[in-house]
A and B are shown apart, each in its own frame.
Chain A
Amino acid sequence: SQQGEEDPQALSIQEGENATMNCSYKTSINNLQWYRQNSGRGLVHLILIRSNEREKHSGRLRVTLDTSKKSSSLLITASRAADTASYFCATDAGGSNYKLTFGKGTLLTVNP
């Protein structure tokens, strides 16, 4: 079953604007990861945030995690046309079980 749910399902913005995508999950997690997928290709790992972290940055990416609300957000600042892709969150329960459960994804379109 799907653990995560991203919203919005689709987002269309202009180049230079910021894009925010949200992810909610149902059960306790160890880590939450965000991935990008361009047009049905492989997944590119963007960032991992641990359950005891609240915020992480990587370049133009900012991820927050609120374990009390079981939600995370991915912010892409100063978006570019090349950021056009599907974005997925994925959670794992840790321990000896690192299998990922994926959300449904957000399709981001950045218009030049």
Chain B
Amino acid sequence: SAVISQKPSRDICQRGTSLTIQCQVDSQVTMMFWYRQQPGQSLTLIATANQGSEATYESGFVIDKFPISRPNLTFSTLTVSNMSPEDSSIYLCSARGGSPLGQYFGPGTRLTVT
């Protein structure tokens, strides 16, 4: 299965600032996704990161708040903009493609906004 890494693993940020999270996959994958997990909750899909075009956002998430890049088939970034304490969550990157079948996740980025 694809090995996915994320940077940073955790960060503490001040409100009003922005943080960019990087996701690297060790092989080319067809699809990459970004999820958010709020404290004590399950995962919610933020967007599908499309290679070479704008990301596809889910209801309740907008590009101005969560700009996403995917310049190639192995790398994506998620920026959390103008952060507030409500953005404190774990942000997870996932990828699908290749063998074995399934969708695999990175270790997550734990973000705390003060």
Q: Which residues of A contact B (CB under 8 A)?
A: 2, 31, 33, 35, 40-45, 48, 88, 90, 92, 98-105
Instruction: Give CA–CA (A44, B104) in the complex, Å.
Output: 7
B:85-109 near A, CB below 8 Å: 90, 92, 94, 96, 100-108
B41-54: CB near A (< 8 Å → 1, else 0) gives 11111001000000
User: From residue A33, how far is it (CB to closest CB) to chain B in Å?
Assistant: 6
Contact mask for chain B residues 20-53; partner A; CB cutoff 8 A; 1 contact, 0 none: 0000000000010100010001111100100000
Other 7 A-B pairs with CB < 8 A, given A2-B42, A43-B105:
A48-B101, A88-B43, A90-B103, A92-B103, A99-B58, A100-B43, A105-B42
Question: Which residue of chain A is the closest to B97 with respect to CB atoms?
Answer: A98
**What residues of A have a CB within 8 angstroms of the CB of B58 in the complex?**
99
A92: B residues at CB distance < 8 A: 103
Cβ of B38 to closest chain A Cβ, rounded Å? 11
Indicate which residue in A31, A42, A44 contacts B101 across the interface (CB closer than 8 Å): A31
B residues with a Cβ closer than 8 A to A are: 1, 6, 31, 33, 37, 41-45, 48, 58, 90, 92, 94, 96, 100-108, 110
- A41 CA to B106 CA in the complex, in Å? 9
- List the A residue with the shortest CB-CB distance to B48: A99
Minimum CB–CB distance from A32 to chain B (whole Å) comes to 11
Question: B42, A48: Cβ atoms under 8 Å?
Answer: no
* A33 adjacent to B42 (CB under 8 Å): no
Q: Is the CB of B107 within 8 A of A41?
A: yes
Q: Check A42 against B105 for contact (C-beta < 8 Å).
A: yes
A2 CB to closest chain B CB, in angstroms? 7
With CB as the reference atom, state the residue of chain A lying closest to B58.
A99
A100: chain B residues at CB < 8 Å are 33, 43, 45, 94, 103
Question: Quick check: B92 and A43 within 8 Å, CB to CB?
Answer: yes
Contact B43 A45 (CB under 8 A): no
Q: How far is B42's CA from A104's CA once the two chains are assembled, in angstroms?
A: 5
A-B contact pairs, 24 of them (CB 8 A): A2-B42, A33-B102, A35-B105, A40-B90, A40-B110, A42-B92, A42-B106, A42-B107, A42-B108, A43-B43, A44-B105, A45-B102, A45-B103, A45-B104, A48-B100, A48-B102, A90-B43, A90-B103, A92-B103, A100-B33, A100-B43, A102-B42, A102-B43, A105-B42
